[in-house]
A = this chain, B = another copy of it.
Amino acid sequence: LNSLRVKLGERSYDIISGNRIFAEFGNLCRAMKLGERVMIITNPTIGRFYLGTLKESLVNHGYKVVDLEIPDGEEYKNLATLKLIYDALVDARLDRSSFLVALGGGVVGDITGFAAATYLRGLSYVQVPTTLLAQVDSSVGGKTGINHEKGKNLIGAFYQPKMVLIDVSTLDTLPEREYISGLAEVVKYGIVCDTGYFHFLDENVDNLLKRDKSCLETIINRSCELKASVVSRDEREAGLRAILNFGHTIGHAIESLTEYKKYLHGEAVAIGMAQAAKISEKLGYSSGDDTRKIVSLLEKLGLPVDLPRFDMELYLKAINHDKKVKDGGIIFVLNNGIGAFSLEKITDLDSLLKTCRIGG
């Protein structure tokens, strides 16, 4: 078992990772002194593969376990599904000493974390992410929430889990397109945080594409390490943490304009990162060579980079509904070369995007 600490004072917790480690779950929960009753929240796709093992491990350690399956898909990360969870929590009579387990990808993790943050004014919860995206990004850092019909993650809370348990073997059952999509967030850490990591990824494209286990353990650990380091220094996104939104401002707008149907999150972020790289170059923060390297790595991994054709007004409207708008300007994350970042307040994103767009 690999163990990595997210340092947040009394809210600190461990990210524990390894291969085929679900049988250890009950034991780890006991070591964390988590309460007697637990609800595992998952979706039918993931539940079919892993719910049995996880539940058995908890039951073997004396826990009273109930489970709840919620529908699969970003479009269900909403108030209606949250209400299903609240109803189930009331019916199962979970109390303040109980805890929740999020078994699944980002949707399950985000909504379960938010339910934990808000049921009885806060229960403990554990993240058991089963997609690459959730393992390297959404399960770490305590961002929880749901979507509003007019924007992603508009409703939520910062609420840290008690533990994150990552079993890399879950990636064996992850569909190809979802796996590739998760690589976008991995590349992101290289672009804004770590030159060496970017080059490691660039040199390991083949290993990444064939899901080499050793390579996977490396990228999960390194990505979590980089994310934990940022989150430890800025838990509530006062400033620094915004760098993790590299590519996301445009990415979110793409997801919103295509109604979350055409692109997976990581695909939209890949396109957003390509555009952001070009804008960074235009504003003098990076060279044309940097942009080419970034775009090339994304393409080699099979990620899209071309901005879908929508009127600039539509893009701007979608971006304005995004939560990162501050007093009229957009706090935009730029790559400063490769491996570093800059933040800039941009007021003319539409014209920048028009000039710099990659694709179309």
A residues whose Cβ falls under 8 Å from a Cβ of B = 35-36, 79, 83, 86-87, 90, 93, 95-97, 114, 117-122, 143, 145, 148, 150-151, 153-158, 236-237, 320-321, 323, 325-327
Residues of chain B within 8 A of A35, CB atoms compared: 327
Q: Which residue in chain B gives the minimum CB-CB distance to A79?
A: B83
Q: Is the CB of B156 within 8 A of A118?
A: yes
Q: Is the CB of A155 within 8 A of B327?
A: no
Among B97, B114, B154, contact of A119 (Cβ-Cβ < 8 Å): B154
Tell me, in angstroms, the Cα distance from A14 to B148 when the chains sit together.
33
Q: A121-B143, A143-B121, A148-B90 are in contact. Are A327 and B156 (CB under 8 A)?
A: no
Residues of chain B within 8 A of A114, CB atoms compared: 118
Residues of chain B within 8 A of A320, CB atoms compared: 93
Tell me, in angstroms, the Cα distance from A206 to B22 when the chains sit together.
67
Among B86, B151, B158, B237, contact of A90 (Cβ-Cβ < 8 Å): B151
Among B36, B148, B153, contact of A327 (Cβ-Cβ < 8 Å): B36
Q: Is the CB of B326 within 8 A of A119?
A: no
CB of A159, distance to nearest CB on chain B (Å): 9
Q: Which residue in chain B gives the minimum CB-CB distance to A144?
A: B121
Residues of chain B within 8 A of A323, CB atoms compared: 95-96, 120
Q: Is the CB of A326 within 8 A of B95?
A: yes
Tell me, in angstroms, the Cα distance from A154 to B143 when the chains sit together.
21
Residues of chain B within 8 A of A83, CB atoms compared: 79
Task: A90-B151, A121-B237, A157-B157 given; name 5 further pairs at CB < 8 Å.
Answer: A35-B327, A86-B154, A118-B118, A118-B156, A120-B154
Residues of chain B within 8 A of A148, CB atoms compared: 86-87, 90
What are 28 A-B pairs with beta-carbon distances under 8 A? Answer: A35-B327, A36-B327, A79-B79, A79-B83, A86-B154, A87-B148, A90-B148, A90-B150, A90-B151, A93-B320, A93-B321, A93-B325, A95-B323, A95-B325, A95-B326, A97-B327, A114-B118, A117-B157, A118-B118, A118-B145, A118-B157, A119-B155, A121-B145, A121-B153, A121-B157, A121-B158, A122-B158, A157-B157
Q: Which residue in chain B gives the minimum CB-CB distance to A326?
A: B95
Residues of chain B within 8 A of A151, CB atoms compared: 90
Q: Is the CB of A156 within 8 A of B121?
A: yes
CB of A145, distance to nearest CB on chain B (Å): 7
Q: Is the CB of A90 within 8 A of B321?
A: yes
Give 4 closest A-B pairs by Cβ, nearest first.
A121-B156, A120-B323, A90-B150, A95-B325
Interface hub of A114, A153, A327 (most chain B Cβ within 10 A): A327
Interface hub of A35, A120, A121, A122 (most chain B Cβ within 10 A): A121
Residues of chain B within 8 A of A325, CB atoms compared: 93, 95
CB of A131, distance to nearest CB on chain B (Å): 22
Q: Is the CB of B97 within 8 A of A326?
A: yes
Q: Which residue in chain B gives the minimum CB-CB distance to A146?
A: B118
Residues of chain B within 8 A of A326, CB atoms compared: 95-97
CB of A173, distance to nearest CB on chain B (Å): 31
